[in-house]
Structure 1
Amino acid sequence: MNLTFYKYQGTGNDFVIIDNRQSIVTKNDTKLFKRLCDRKFGIGADGLMLLELPENDEDDFTMVYFNADGNESSMCGNGGRCLVAFASFLGVIKDKATFTAIDGKHYAVIKDGLVQLQMQDVSTIEEYDSHLFLDTGSPHHVMVVDDLDNYDVVSVGRSIRNGAPYYEAGSNVNFVEKATVGVFNVRTYERGVEDETLSCGTGVTAVALSLHTSKMTDKKEVRMQTPGGELKVTFQKNELGYHHIFLIGPAEQVFKGEIVC
């Protein structure tokens, strides 16, 4: 069959998106999803998303996300923002959305050309001598480094992702360096992609909260420069942890196409 797809990107984090409200593909077809994400034999993407019908009366749609390896994954922040933009393009929503992803319910707003996606609350951040670890919908290892531009993100990230204590389940690995006041440079090695990506939404969210926890910034609006562009994270904090967390940035349609499956 000919499968209609859309390609979206959010600060260089790119996705194949399929309108699956009519169940045109099955969610267990991991070989298909892996092929579609392949940059040599398919469309090419960091991940693939299905926009599906809502499972309850509160939601506008359901988000189902797969890594480039074809396996269903944990939450993807940039993917969620791109799916909100896609839902607006389809007319499923206008400028506000409520949807459910693998990590629970999310709320989003499209304003001034940017998608503002509310992330899950974070109550626990583990601090170690060399890094911090937290879950922002996906697990993230965060470490501050020098000379980020020349840092070997792929080899170091891969060794951390596969090593103790993460092993097969793995963790995303974020490397961060201060640029100016309230602005930080970030590069991320993503599990599932098994490479550096130009941007990671749950990653920059994890970085912003880690920087605040470690007192590298006292700001509750943190700007992050990734290789793919700028993202902003805003949040509030109380005795229970971080809440009202928003990931803010652009999400753009690149093209629409058909592929033979």
Structure 2
Amino acid sequence: MNLEFTKYQGLGNDFILIDNRENSEPLLTPEQAIQWCDRHFGIGADGVIFALPGENGTDYSMRIFNSDGSEPEMCGNGIRCLAHFIAELEASGRTEYRIHTLGGVMVPRLTAEGQVQVDMGEPQLVAAQIPTTLVQGEEKAIAIPLEVAGQTWNVTCVSMGNPHCITFVEDVAAIPLETLGPQFEHHPVFPQRTNTEFIQVLRSDYVKMRVWERGAGATLACGTGACASVVAGVLNSQCDRRTTVELPGGCLEIEWATNGRVYMSGPAVQVFKGTLAI
């Protein structure tokens, strides 16, 4: 059996998109997703995203398998790509969708400038909701010391539907990401593992970020990570509520609005289409 797919990228964070609207379960297994994501023996991607029927009154549902076969709750760059993919499938001229994810309902909107703005909802700051055991369950983990690789890091933990650990550094380019990333991801204080963002503040409205994504490793961009990092920046008096986040793959515009919700704006680009046997 051949299965059609479309390859998308958002700031170099790349995904295989599959039309899964006729079935409530993903058409690929996690093991097949690993094969498809392999950059030497498959298509190559950071993850596989499925556009499924909506749940609880939403227009669509989103499921994603990372390149290691794990399933995250949400993906910020991925949901922008999914919005473009859905718009192409529908060909209706519609520009806004309510999408059910394991991290909550997200609302992406395609703009006239070719960007996608996503209402990412409110960040979760309570330790038990992230989750982390770095502090007690109902406390917030803001600027808390964490020992990793023989060094003490001041970290702030935020959930954007998935867990993030953010630390501010003087030179983000000097961070040995491939060494430190896995040690943060698998640290015992993160029972569901964590995404990790290293942030260098250039101005209060402009930061540089490198990311180690849970289940995908070093990627060129992470939308939820950019959102979590601006929230952490505000909480630590490092960032404005509206801040540009520069990632290796490009820039995202993030706003933690006064209504408590986080808005992310950035590109989503179709790369190619194809079919592959399953």
Same fold (TM > 0.5): yes
Which residue of 2 is the match for residue 172 of structure 1? Answer: 195
8 Å contact kept, 1:60–1:92: no
The Cα shift of 1:89 comes to 1.2
The Cα shift of 1:203 comes to 0.4
Would the alpha carbon gap of residues 183 and 65 (structure 1) be closer, same or farther in structure 2, given more than 3 Å must change? same
Gaps (5+ residues) in structure 1? none
- Residue 236 of structure 1, aligned match among 239, 243, 257: 257
What amino acid maps onto 1:170 in structure 2?
R
What amino acid maps onto 1:145 in structure 2?
V
The alignment partner of 1:205 has SS state of helix
How many residues align? The count is 253
Q: CA–CA distance in 2 between the matches of 1:6 and 1:25?
A: 18
Identical columns (%): 32
Would the alpha carbon gap of residues 104 and 25 (structure 1) be closer, same or farther in structure 2, given more than 3 Å must change? closer
The answer to whether 1:34 aligns with 2:55 is no
The Cα shift of 1:74 comes to 1.5
Which residue of 1 is the match for residue 241 of structure 2? Answer: 220
- Residue 211 of structure 1, aligned match among 233, 250, 256: 233
Would the alpha carbon gap of residues 216 and 181 (structure 1) be closer, same or farther in structure 2, given more than 3 Å must change? closer
Q: TM-score normalized by structure 1?
A: 0.91
What amino acid maps onto 1:225 in structure 2?
E
8 Å contact kept, 1:160–1:173: yes
Gaps (5+ residues) in structure 2? 126-139, 146-153
Which residue of 2 is the match for residue 10 of structure 1? Answer: 10
The answer to whether 1:253 aligns with 2:270 is yes
Q: Encode CA deviations 1:118-162: one digit per residue, 9 max, x unaligned.
A: 112124251114110111111000001122112211211111111
What amino acid maps onto 2:241 in structure 1?
K
The alignment partner of 2:97 has SS state of strand
Which residue of 2 is the match for residue 119 of structure 1? Answer: 120
Q: CA–CA distance in 2 between the matches of 1:142 and 1:24?
A: 35
The alignment partner of 2:5 has SS state of strand
8 Å contact kept, 2:124–2:160: no
Q: CA–CA distance in 2 between the matches of 1:244 and 1:138?
A: 15
Q: What RMSD, in angstroms, separates the aligned Cα atoms of the two structures? A: 1.8
Q: CA–CA distance in 1 between the matches of 2:85 and 2:187?
A: 37
Q: Encode CA deviations 1:62-92: one digit per residue, 9 max, x unaligned.
A: 1111111122221111111110111111126
119-128 or 9-18, larger mean C-alpha shift:
119-128
Q: CA–CA distance in 1 between the matches of 2:258 and 2:178?
A: 33
The Cα shift of 1:27 comes to 5.4
Q: CA–CA distance in 2 between the matches of 1:53 and 1:24?
A: 6
What amino acid maps onto 1:248 in structure 2?
S
Which residue of 1 is the match for residue 223 of structure 2? Answer: 201
8 Å contact kept, 2:195–2:213: yes
